[in-house]
Amino acid sequence: MEVPITIRVDGAERSMTIDTRTTLLDAMRDRLSIMSPKKGCDHGQCGSCTVLLDGRRVVSCLALAVAHDGAEITTAAGLADGAELHPVQQAFVDRDGFQCGYCTPGQICSAVGMLEEAKAGHPSHVTDDLTGPIDLDDAELRERMSGNLCRCGAYVNIVAALREGTAS
């Protein structure tokens, strides 16, 4: 079954007729040639496909495109302003927060979403005070970034990059 949908990706409106089985990730990659979100597992287990969907971080391989008609999506490509990288992206480059780079766009979208969650006061599994403001120490950063796997083992540098990002 095919249905028409329109989504905005990185500020550009895109309309298409889509197979109802198509995930948001495949809609972007296979239909729109938007390759910034990566497919690592297709089962919501690795986080490589993370994008910001209406401002919140989601794994786009578990979202069916048909259910997101009218959605506003930001990918890692859309976080940069032309040649000007987003501060989180720049921190990843400065602290070598990646090696092969395949999980990286997902890590970065996840980090940007995570920083907003913390700012809004959302507690995590390691938050002691569930009522106060969130202090994003290393334990918080590690916990909140654990939905994004990195096989190259860049976690230490990812935390360093985010430490830098949250301090500024």
Partner 1 sequence: MTLQANAMGTPTRRLDGAPKVTGTAPYAYEQPVKNPVYVHAVQSGVARGTIRSIETVAAEAVDGVVAVLTHRNATRLADVGDDELAVLQSDSVAFRGQLIAAVLAETPEAARHAARLIQVTYDDEPADTELRADREDLHAPEGEDPPDDRSRDEFAAAFSSADVRVDQTYTTPMLHNNPMEPHTTVAVWDEESEVRLTMFDSTQGVHVVRSTLAPLFGLRPEQMRVVAPHVGGGFGSKGMPHAHNVLAGLAARAVPGRPVKYAVPRQQMYALTGHRSPTIQRIRLGAERDGRLAAISHDSVEHSSTVKEFAEECGKPTRSLYAGAHRLITQRLATLDVPVPSWMRAPGECPGAFALEVAMDELAEACGVDPIDLRIVNDPELDPKTGHPWSSRRLVECLQEGAERFGWAARDPEPGRRQTGGTLVGMGVAASTYPCFRSPGSVARIEVTDDGRYSVRIGAVDIGTGAWTALTQIAADALGCDMELVKLEIGDTDLPHATVAGGSSGLTSWGSAIVEAARILRHEHGASPRVGTTVEAETPDKPRGVAVHSFGAQFAEVHVDPDTGEIRVPRMLGVFAVGRVINAATARSQLIGGMTMGLSMALHEVGVMDHRTGHVVNHDLAEYHIVTNADVGDVEATWLDDVDPQANPMGSKGIGEIGIVGAPAAVANAVYNATGVRVRDLPITADLLLR
By CB under 8 A, the count of residues binding partner 1 is 57
HSE on the CB side for 168, CA within 13 Å? 10
Question: Which one, 48 or 166, has the nearer CB to partner 1?
Answer: 48
- Residues of the chain by 3-state class (helix, strand, coil), percent to 5: 40, 20, 45
Which position among 17, 33, 131, 168 is part of the footprint of partner 1 (CB under 8 A)? 33
Kindly state the smallest distance separating residue 132's Cβ from partner 1, in Å: 22
Contacting range for partner 1; rule: CB under 8 A; set: 52-60, 66-74, 85-93, 129-137? 85-93
Does 98 bind partner 1 (CB under 8 A)? Our answer is yes
Asked whether position 83 contacts partner 1 by CB under 8 A, the answer is yes
H-assigned helices in the chain: 24-26, 76-79, 87-94, 104-119, 138-144, 155-167
57 binds partner 1 (CB under 8 A): no
Report the alpha-carbon distance of residue 61 to residue 140 in Å, rounded: 25
Helices then strands, each counted (H, E), the chain = 6, 5
Rounded distance between C-alpha atoms, residue 48 and residue 148, angstroms: 7
What is the CB neighbour count within 10 angstroms for residue 82?
Answer: 5
111-140: contacts with partner 1 (CB under 8 A): none
Q: Which is nearer to partner 1, 61 or 71 (CB)?
A: 61
Where along the sequence are the contacts to partner 1 (CB under 8 A)? Answer: 19, 21-22, 26, 29-30, 33, 35-43, 45-46, 48, 75-77, 79-80, 83, 85, 89, 92-94, 96, 98-105, 108, 141-143, 145-146, 148-159
